[in-house]
Amino acid sequence: MISVAVAGYAGRMGSAVVDAVTSADDMTVVCGIDPHKQTRSFPTYTSVASALEAHTCDVLVDFTQPTSVFDNCKAALRVGVNCVIGTTGLSDEQLHELEKCAGDNLCVFFAPNFTTGAVLMMQFAQVAAPYFPEVEIIEYHHAKKLDAPSGTALRSAALIAAARDGKPSQAPMKESETAGCEGARGACVQGIPVHSVRSMGYVASQEIIFGSFGQTLTIRHDSWDRNSYMPGVLLGIRKAPLHTGLIVGLENFMDVK
């Protein structure tokens, strides 16, 4: 059995992780961590350090907040626990620092998106990227999401930019914005315009729009139920203890390259 600690168990995603792990035959929740402590069927704590001092775990799953995920994972790695991270908002510097903490014995697995559909969307976009001069990303999330752009949008932009050898989108950028309306063209992420929509009408959606003379290609993924993330989370929990170092992206554990 894989022993799992869930950071953020009282939140929307954390609760879904607890249910998914509990239903799996090969893993179990040994403890939960959340500042909003709630009574559950497993021991609960308000800090990762206190939880892992009391329990031996194979994997810490973190679905907390951008302000706490880094310290949570450092505390876990310090006591020999692998990390599966679903919280976005980590900087590249923080990821590299966690990679150093993992060393040659532990794994830090970070997935900007745990849904198989989103992974495939990004893979398809990489194939299309060299063939269209213009590309833009629009991502839609619920109003309580704390980071913008989303981790999925940032990852998509990075993969598309790599597939284009760093060539930026040829769509007009900041230079076309009307004075007093700066920001209308979105954020420029590795040369690609990214637009973030926040509304309670969404869970998580994204579309990548490619354009060239006389045609557009739109690749879109929609997630309207948080359970869509759970197969990817369980896959990460199973695979992380078998690897070492920093691994970014669910595609590394799927048969998609």
Residues labelled as active-site residues: 141, 145
Peptide bond preceding 43 in cis form (omega within 30 of 0):
no
Alpha carbon distances (Å) from 99 to 65, 85, 95, 139, 188: 19, 13, 6, 28, 27
Instruction: List b or e across 192-218, with b for residues whose CB sees 16 or more CB atoms inside 10 angstroms.
Output: bbbbbeeeeebbbbbbbbbbeeeeeee
Q: How far apart are CA 78 and CA 34, in angstroms?
A: 19
Instruction: Pull the structure tokens for residue 257.
Output: 């390259």
Give the integer Cα–Cα distance in Å for 169 and 38. 48
Q: With H, G, I as helix, E, B as strand and everything else as coil, classify residue 159.
A: helix
| Helix pair angle (92-102, 69-78), 10° resolution | 10
Which own/partner pairs from 11-18 qualify as long-range (CB within 8 Å, at least 24 positions apart)?
A: 11/63, 11/64, 12/226, 13/63, 13/86, 13/226, 13/229, 14/63, 14/64, 16/226, 16/227, 16/229, 16/230, 17/61, 17/63, 17/86, 17/230, 17/233
**CA-to-CA distance for 120 and 20, rounded, in angstroms?**
22
203 closest CA partner among 83, 90, 118: 118
